[in-house]
Amino acid sequence: MSDPQPDESEFSVFQESDEEWTTRVLTSSPFANLLSDWHEARQTDSENAKLPTTSSLTAEKMSPYLKDISIFDCISHDEVMYRFVGTDIAERMGHDVTGENVLVLSEGPGKSQVQEVLHRVSQTPEIALVSYMNAYSSGRQAGVISLMLPVQGPKNAPPRIVALHRPDTVRSYLSKRTKVQIGKSIDRVIWISI
């Protein structure tokens, strides 16, 4: 008896080239909407043509997809705080993580990659499109696709990142956990120069 062959459509998403995957994700809603709003906000800020400010990329502007938005304050290499977490993100995580350090929630093998992505987005600055897996407190392990965009915070505030997170495929169910683990594994990171 031979082993059953996997359905090719199951793995088609993994067979996409980085360029095909990036194009597909960034031209789909709401990723395309956030990217467009970010570029538009850049153009309205005469002070800084490179990054939009938090006063030009507002919650009102992002309201159609705000439930999947998080905003990070990048205080130091080891401290990246959730400043804001949308309602759908909080629901997926099992609690509202506003005010928590994302790097504490990233403990494990993926932590250094999560740290590098957040640091590069906020400091270089660059745009990152990331596919990764989270392990939720419910026991569900699922993929997430995040678009991370640097923004200029208020004067004397730490650099900020506005990120749109959309759930991808559920990969497995394990035992319940005491807390969510962000970036348990990182599948892809696409860097986009500004």
Domains and CATH numbers, the chain: 67-192 (3.30.450.20)
pTM beyond cutoff 0.85: yes
189, pLDDT greater than 70: yes
Determine the distance from the C-alpha atom of residue 11 to the mean position of all C-alpha atoms in its chain, rounded to a whole number: 23
Supply the pLDDT for residue 14. Answer: 58
- Nearest CA to 69 out of 97, 41, 89, 98 is that of 89
More confident site: 155 or 151: 151
Supply the pLDDT for residue 108. Answer: 84
Tokens in use for 72? 């990070």
The stretch 18-28 carries a mean pLDDT of 97
Supply the pLDDT for residue 109. Answer: 85
Residue 177: exposure state from Cβ atoms within 10 A (0-12, 13-18, ≥19) = middle
Residues 83, 182: Cα–Cα separation, whole Å: 16
Residue 1 banded pLDDT, cuts 50, 70, 90: very low
15, pLDDT greater than 90: no
Q: Is the dihedral of CA 49, 190, 119, 73 positive or negative?
A: positive
The stretch 19-29 carries a mean pLDDT of 97
CA distances from 109 to 53, 113, 134, 173, 184 (A): 33, 8, 12, 19, 7
